[in-house]
């Protein structure tokens, strides 16, 4: 039987007996870690091993948001401090070749840190465009303002992760950059014409549509669906994500515990999956919420399972790890390109 079409967080750096029993019974596809789950490298690895043991699948994906800058769950002194995307975008603006090289090297080093914990999915790259009105929740997480630059840098970031054996997740499809409120707290409404969205916001995702995993934006685009955020819009998923952008990979919702969607947690999960998301993501580790999500999410569909397996094969084809010596050289080279971030 297929795993349940959900990914769950957990409450702390160690699992409780109740969490073990819940995860065993719920059988989620995988898990996601946050700063609250991270202590030492050894403890993080033990947690990841325990999570996989709960569902009895060594291949169960374990995600983490390790972008660099503000969004980093793995922090010094045990892991390196990495630059935000905007720093890489600024280097690209001055020196395109150097910017791409630095982005690729930085992602290899991020992947090495992620892999050191046992996690195998990094929710990166962010392909949202930087507009004058872009809310600070995205802010310097966006590489640049122009779709061509964002796509090139996003491709380099994904290549670095893949080469070190970590799955990238393009986000927030089809674009969060025009949002002027934080979707953790409110539902952003974007009123731009569809032709502008297709020409700018959607383009980086279209250029990287071959990548295996993507995460939705909790954003309502009035030109696409005036009644529902993309995550829970069957029209948006079908017409924009699958048809216009051409993304055929595994589609994750953004975190259902964010307040943009409204309704109960069970309703959010059911609506996201009915709209065409393959996997419902719930991050905060609250047992009562996870129970409601699990009750409204069945097993992965056959199509979702095919997409998941295709992603594993894609990762296998692109894996070419540098090893300890190569990573040390990568760090040295990154220091030459970005002296303050090597």
Q: Which domains does the chain have, with CATH numbers?
A: 4-341 (3.20.20.300)
For the stretch 263-291, pLDDT in tens is 999 999 999 999 999 999 999 999 999 99
Who has greater pLDDT, 262 or 22? 22
In the structure encoding, which two tokens stand for residue 275, read together?
């709209």
Question: Measured between alpha carbons, how far is residue 143 from residues 48, 152, 177 in Å?
Answer: 30, 10, 11
pLDDT confidence bin for 226, thresholds 50/70/90: very high
Helices (H), 16-58: 17-26, 41-55
pTM: predicted TM-score of the whole model, two decimal places = 0.96
For range 91-118, the mean pLDDT: 98
Measured CA angle at 259 (ends 63, 232), to 5 deg = 75
Query: In the chain, which residue ranges form alpha helices assigned H by DSSP?
Result: 17-26, 41-55, 85-94, 96-116, 147-163, 194-196, 203-207, 234-235, 265-275, 287-295, 302-318, 323-337
Which residue did the predictor score with more confidence, 159 or 182?
Answer: 159
| pLDDT one-digit tens code per residue, 185-222 | 889 999 999 999 999 999 999 999 999 999 999 999 99
Percentage of the chain modeled with pLDDT above 90: 94
Kindly list the catalytic residues.
184, 254
pLDDT band at 342 (very low <50, low <70, confident <90, very high): low
């Amino acid at each position: 039987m297929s795993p349940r079409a959900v990914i769950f967080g957990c409450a702390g750096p160690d699992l409780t007996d109740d969490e073990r029993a819940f995860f065993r019974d719920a059988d989620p596809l995988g898990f996601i870690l946050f700063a609250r789950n991270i202590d030492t490298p050894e403890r993080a690895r033990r947690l990841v091993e325990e999570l996989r043991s709960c569902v009895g699948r060594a291949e169960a994906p374990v995600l983490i948001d390790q972008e660099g800058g503000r969004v980093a769950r793995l922090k010094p002194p045990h892991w390196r401090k990495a630059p935000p995307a905007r720093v890489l975008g600024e280097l690209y603006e001055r020196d395109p070749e150097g910017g791409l090289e630095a982005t690729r090297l930085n992602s290899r080093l991020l992947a090495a840190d992620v892999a050191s914990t046992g996690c195998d999915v990094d929710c990166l790259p962010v392909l949202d465009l930087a507009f004058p009105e872009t809310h600070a929740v995205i802010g310097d997480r966006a590489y640049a303002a122009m779709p061509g630059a964002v796509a090139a840098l996003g491709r380099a970031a994904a290549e670095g992760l893949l080469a070190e054996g970590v799955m990238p997740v393009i986000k927030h499809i089809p674009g969060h950059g025009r949002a002027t409120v934080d979707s953790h707290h409110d539902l952003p409404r974007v009123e731009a014409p569809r032709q502008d969205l297709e020409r700018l916001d959607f383009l980086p995702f279209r250029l990287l549509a071959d990548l295996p995993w993507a995460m939705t934006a909790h954003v309502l685009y009035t030109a696409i669906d005036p009644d529902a955020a993309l995550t829970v819009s069957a029209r948006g998923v079908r017409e924009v994500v699958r048809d216009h952008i051409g993304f055929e990979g595994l589609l994750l919702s953004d975190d259902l515990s964010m307040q943009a969607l409204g309704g109960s947690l069970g309703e959010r999960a059911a609506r996201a999956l009915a709209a065409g998301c393959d996997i419902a993501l719930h991050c905060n580790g609250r047992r009562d919420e996870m129970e409601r999500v699990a009750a409204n999410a069945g097993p992965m569909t056959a199509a979702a399972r095919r997409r998941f397996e295709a992603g594993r094969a894609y990762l296998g084809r692109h894996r070419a790890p540098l090893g300890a010596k190569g990573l040390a050289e990568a760090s040295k080279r990154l220091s030459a390109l970005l002296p303050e971030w090597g």
